[in-house]
Structure 1
Amino acid sequence: MFDCAGMLFLYTETLLHAGSGTSLGVVDLPIQRERTTGYPMIQASGLKGCLRDVMIQASGLKGCLRDVADSNCQKVEIVFGPDTQRASDHAGALSVGDARILLFPVRSLMGVFAWVTSQNVLARFKREAMMAGLSVDWDPPGPPNDSTALIQGNLLVANGKIVLEEFAFTAQTDSRVEDIAKWLKENALPSDSEYAYWRDTLEKRLVILPDNDFQYFVQFSTEVIARVRIDDTKKTVERGGLWTEEHLPSETLLYATLFASKPRVKDEELPDDWKQANDRAGKILEFVKQAVDGKRLQLGGDATVGRGIVKVRFVEGQARAQTASAAQRGGQP
């Protein structure tokens, strides 16, 4: 089913609104969240659509899904599947997962802000990273109690405490925080020169919170902005033209798994440079990587007011996905 995998890291440079529709709550237009945890996320369908659009534009193509004569058009259709008029012809070779939260920025009394995460988040990330073939050589630590936060360094500490928003935690140094920060610095944060400062300060800003406190912050420390619609004639707010929108803040780090299978088309329909390839699934991921790695994408709504700009880092896995292989063998090792 899936023959190779990789992971996409998304770093928000501006506020991001991946909306879930209207709500009966305080916020009119909330962001997408996981049902069980309440963590912010971006649904796979939205991320996949963005990737498809970016790859069409990166190839310099318009209307390419209506004409498969061009090599790049063929590749886009093979990766994502044909357009809706011919959707039954074959499925795409790329499977895109939901974008999940990894690091969340929270206002700090010292050091301006902290990147917070939790043992639950790190444990799930490690599971998915290893499933995608990444090498993760650290174990996710957890604070010993609900009033302690794990850190490495003193940038955020005042009198032995870390104060995040209105909550104070006892600061406890743990060398595993440094190990995690170094791994994220080398593999997850953008590798461009303009991100040198952020990579260098990650170790000092990383805080591992109790699971419940992390859940609280990602639920109640997002950006909520009031917007209005002005009547062009009266130059006043239109009736019903006031609403609130929720956004993921800038400096948030998310991740999504990508899995690729062999192209689901006949050999004669493959581009010439893919016909001779031994690892055709690898060609799928290579094509995606060339289009998005190190690039900026626009995700979610409100693009015309600068929302949803993310910096992308793509990391290829070193191993094949094991679950599908085991299933094909009837569950036998």
Structure 2
Amino acid sequence: MFKKSKLFFIIAETPLHPGSGGDSSGLVDLPIQRERHTNYPKIEASGLKGCIREAFKDSNCEIKIGNQKIKPQTKIEYKEDNKDKETYYISLVFGPEDSDESHAGALSFTDARILLFPVKSLKGVFTWITCPMVLERFKEDLSLAQEKLNFSIPQEIEEGVCWTSPEAQICIKDESDNIEKIVLEEYTFKCERKNEIKNFSEFLAQKIFHNNIYQFWREKLKKDLVILSNDDFEQFVSTSTEIITRTRIDDTTGTVKSGALWTEEYLPQDTILYSIAMASSIRVKNEEAKGVFKANTPDEEAEKVLKFFELGIPEIIQIGGNQTIGKGLARIQIFNSGGRENEQRNIN
């Protein structure tokens, strides 16, 4: 049973391709993963966990747990049945790679869900969109992670209408009817400015772009967040992803090889998703094998596991396919009141 949990954001620094392996419709050769019932983009928990584990495996950072500093690859030596044995902290947290070690990891993840989707705007270059259904999910997931959202969420928005902050700078005034509108892609929406959107966008901007390095993006999110109806949002996340056509060239002829023409789907850069890391106590029976995670109660062990994740995860990780052509770089931001400035984490 999971004892502690923490929500974290995943911000696409380059386009992401969490591939689904195929497409029955045949419209895209290599589509992204999507929820069956909503068609919203997602990243499967199994793939996300593998990417995060790989990031820890490649990391050389020191993490302070209690009064000790450890690395993910630090070895723990112990005795069991009068035999010398060993394990590693990364194995205790994420589970062993060797099938001979019969215990599960202490850290699990939910599927990464969409929160904010970037869409081209006639004014302001682009904006982030979301919808009431997505925000209700986010509110529920925050509760699961023992966090609170102290802002009201719109229950229903009419199709063709959008809600924005009173400070939004992406609205244009239609001189024919003197009504403010927003143009996203080729679609026009009537703009309604709401104070509750201002409060919510400021809250999100501070959490997602906490570090002052991202001040420009923090200010943009504060002003330019757009909330659409559930149906309008679903249309954008279904049709406004990036579709790239790729080929393979024959070295001899200099032309495309036979059959080597395909399409790939990507979540666009600046897409923002979130997931929840859930920690349990260490799942080994031998107390010596727990190392610095050993504690008086399961809750205390889970707290240490979660701290290992929070302090150890690199700010930038690789998610999905096509790493060698610059795709899949994602920034991780833990949901809390602080940033990384005061973490007890050293990079060697």
TM-score in same-fold range (> 0.5): yes
User: What is the CA–CA distance in structure 2 between the aligned matches of 1:144 and 1:210, rounded to whole Å?
Assistant: 5
In the alignment, structure 1 residue 36 sits paired with structure 2 residue 37 = yes
- Once the two structures are superposed, the pairs formed by residues 76-91 of structure 1 within 5 Å of their partners are 76-86=90-100, 89-91=102-104
Identify which of 142, 152, 159 aligns with 1:139: 152
TM-superposed deviation, 1:135:
1.9
2:270 aligned counterpart, secondary structure:
coil
CA shift for structure 1 position 121 = 0.3
SS of equivalent to 2:335: strand
Provide Cα deviations, 1:106-147, integer angstroms capped at 9, x if missing partner. 001111111000000000110011111112111211454212
- Number of residue equivalences: 312
User: Counterpart amino acid of 1:235?
Assistant: G
Task: Give 3-state SS (helix, strand or coil) of 2:99's partner.
Answer: helix
**Structure 2 equivalent of residue 273 of structure 1:** 292
Which residue of structure 2 aligns with residue 15 of structure 1?
A: 15
**What residue in structure 1 maps to residue 246 of structure 2?**
227
Q: Please list the CA deviations of residues 210-237 of structure 1 after superposition, one character each: whole Å capped at 9, or x if unmatched.
A: 0000000000000000001011221211
- Higher-strand-fraction structure: 2
- The structure with the largest helix share of the pair is 1
- Structure 1 window deviating more from structure 2 (247-256 vs 227-236): it is 227-236
Tell me the distance in 2 between the aligned counterparts of 1:297 and 1:113: 25
- Candidates 70, 89, 101, aligned match of 1:75: 89
Residue 59 (structure 1) shift:
4.0
Deviation of the 1:62 alpha carbon: 12
Confirm whether residue 303 of structure 1 aligns to residue 323 of structure 2: yes
Indicate if the aligned counterparts of 1:177 and 1:203 stay in contact, CA closer than 8 A. Answer: no
The code of the aligned residue for 2:218 comes to R
1:148 counterpart residue number: 161
1:103 aligns to 2:116 (yes or no): yes
- How far apart are the structure 1 equivalents of 2:163 and 2:155? 8
Query: Matches of 1:300 and 1:76 in 2, distance apart?
Result: 21
Q: Secondary structure at the match of 1:125?
A: helix
Pick which of 172-181 and 262-271 moved more.
262-271
Instruction: After superposing the two structures, state which structure 1 stretch, 76-85 or 166-175, moved more.
Output: 76-85
SS of corresponding position for 1:297: strand
1:301 CA drift (Å): 0.0
Is 1:180 aligned with 2:200? yes
Q: Is this contact kept in 2: 1:18–1:42, CA < 8 A?
A: yes
Taking structure 1 as reference, are residues 233 and 143 closer, same or farther at Cα in structure 2, changes over 3 Å only? same
What RMSD over aligned residues (CA atoms) do the two structures have, in Å?
2.3
Map 1:188-267 onto structure 2 (within 5 A). 189-267=208-286
Asked if structure 1 preserves the Cα contact closer than 8 Å seen for 2:116 and 2:272, the reply is yes
Match for 1:137: what amino acid?
Answer: N
Please tell me the residue identity of whatever aligns with 1:269: E
Distance 2:172 2:202 in 1: 24
Shift of 1:194: 2.3
**After TM superposition, which residue ranges in structure 1, 4 or more long, deviate above 6 angstroms?**
60-63
Alignment gaps of 5+ in structure 1? 318-333
The letter for the 2-side match of 1:48 is K
In structure 2, the residue matched to 1:113 is 126
Q: For residues 84 and 63 of structure 1, what CA distance do their matches in structure 2 show?
A: 16
Residue 124 (str. 1) matches residue 145 (str. 2):
no
Asked whether the equivalents of residues 190 and 312 of structure 1 are also in contact (C-alpha less than 8 Å), the reply is no
8 Å CA contact 1:109, 1:163 repeated in 2: yes
* Offset of residue 74 of structure 1: 2.5
SS at the partner of 1:47? helix
Q: CA separation in 2, counterparts of 1:241 and 1:308?
A: 22
Write the letter of the residue equivalent to 2:116: L
- With over 3 angstroms needed to count, the CA separation of the structure-2 counterparts of 1:277 and 1:235, relative to structure 1, is farther
**Equivalent-residue separation in structure 2 for 1:5 and 1:73 (angstroms):** 24
Q: For the residues of structure 2 that align with 1:274 and 1:145, how far apart are their CA atoms?
A: 51
Residue 314 in structure 1 maps to residue 334 in structure 2: yes
- More divergent stretch after superposition (250-259 vs 51-60): 51-60
Amino acid at match of 1:54: A
Are the counterparts in 2 of residues 104 and 218 from structure 1 also a CA contact under 8 Å? Answer: yes
What is the CA–CA distance in structure 2 between the aligned matches of 1:9 and 1:154, rounded to whole Å? 23
Look up the match of 1:327.
Answer: none
| Letter paired with 1:139 | S
* Distance of 1:262 and 1:271 partners within structure 2: 10
